[in-house]
Every structure is written in C-alpha cells, then in structure tokens.
C-alpha cells in the first residue's frame, strides 16, 4: 500500500476565523506525508481560497452560518480533497472560470475578486463542482506527495 495516511476529515462552522483553524487541523493531519515547503504552501493556498469562497459566498453575511466539511484522502497521484457545505449554490450551478487577471493596470482598475478561482484552477487538478440536494461538493486533486516525489 502506498499511503501511510488514512483518510480523515476536518469539520468547521462557516465563520471567518474558522478557516484558519481548519487549515491548521488539515496541515496537522497531513503531517505523516512530510510535505516539503512548496507542497504545503500549495495545499494551504488552494484550501484557503476554496474555504474563503464558501464562507463569503455560500454563507454570505446576513445569512445563518453552517457546516463545512473537508474530506481528505491520499493516493499515489496526490491529495484528493472534497469540500462539502450546505450554503447557497454556485451561480448557474458551476464554478467561475478563474481566468488570469491582468495585474499590469492602474490599481483603481484591478478587480476586487476573481484571483481565487484562477489560483485554484492553476494549482489543482480534476476540479469538479456539483450541487446534490442541499449540498455543494467541490472536489479537487493536488499533485503533492505523489509516488513519483515520495519514494
């Protein structure tokens, strides 16, 4: 068997500071993989962007907070994550395109958002979103701690 990491999950409530706690619990759970600095940074960046989107958009201000569950499984092709929430669904039932933003413009012309989905799509593989019943499910794979890099 390749992975020494059993599947695990991290559950939080959709409050702003909970994202930091979730990241700490996730990274602690990934300890047995001995991720290098770059791999750990990739995991933290992608998961932070995804969780911040859930907190901000699935459970927007003025709406009740709710649960967010991160399911984590390690396989030979990397880290498989599924983020599940019961908040509002994605507009039109799909994730934003996450196109590259031109940052070589006057600061007043920079968009307020849109960077997160570009980073998620650029750093993660197999990004998939579905709405099942009352749940949003974002699945993705991060090519870290693969059999090629950790022999």
Residue 123 domain flag: yes
| pLDDT of 44 | 97
In this prediction, residues 128-143 reach a mean pLDDT of: 95
Confidence (pLDDT) at 106: 52
**151 located within any domain:** no
The answer to whether residue 72 is domain-embedded is: yes
pLDDT of residue 97: 60
Residue 109 reports pLDDT greater than 50: no
Spatial separation of the C-alpha atoms in residues 10 and 122, rounded to whole Å = 24
> Do 85 and 68 contact (CB within 8 A), yes or no?
yes
User: Per-residue confidence at 117, pLDDT binned at 50, 70, 90?
Assistant: confident
Segment (H or E) for 12: strand 8-13
Q: Give the pLDDT score at 55.
A: 93
Q: Is residue 38 part of a domain?
A: yes
What is the domain extent for residue 46? 8-142
Question: In the predicted model, what is the mean pLDDT of residues 87-101?
Answer: 71
- Give, in order, the Cα–Cα distances in Å from 48 to each of 92, 130, 148: 23, 20, 26
- CATH (domain of 70): 3.30.565.10
Q: What pTM was computed for the model?
A: 0.84
b/e per residue 67-99 (b: at least 16 CB within 10 A): ebbbbbbbeeebbbbebbbbbebbeeeebbebe
Answer yes or no: is 3 within a domain: no
pLDDT, position 111: 46
The answer on pLDDT for 27 being more than 70 is yes
**Is 33 a member of any domain?**
yes
Residue 129 lies in a domain: yes
DSSP letters, 78-132, are EEEEEEEE-SPPPGGGS----PPP--SS-GGGS-SS-HHHHHHHHH-EEEEEEEE
- Average pLDDT over the chain, rounded to an integer: 85
2 lies in some domain: no
Count structural domains, the chain.
Answer: 1
């Amino acid at each position: 068997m390749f992975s020494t990491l059993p599947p695990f999950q991290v559950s939080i409530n959709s409050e702003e500071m909970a994202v930091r706690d979730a990241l700490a619990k996730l990274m602690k759970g990934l300890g047995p993989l001995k991720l290098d600095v770059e791999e750990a940074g990739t995991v933290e960046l992608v998961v932070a962007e995804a969780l911040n989107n859930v907190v901000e958009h699935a459970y927007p201000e003025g709406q009740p907070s709710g649960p967010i569950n991160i399911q984590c499984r390690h396989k030979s092709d990397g880290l498989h994550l599924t983020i599940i929430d019961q908040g509002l669904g994605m507009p039109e039932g799909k994730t934003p395109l996450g196109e590259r933003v031109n940052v070589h413009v006057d600061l007043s012309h920079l968009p307020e958002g849109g960077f997160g989905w570009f980073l998620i799509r650029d750093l993660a593989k197999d990004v998939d979103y579905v709405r099942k019943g009352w749940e949003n499910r974002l699945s993705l794979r991060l090519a870290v701690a693969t059999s090629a890099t950790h022999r």
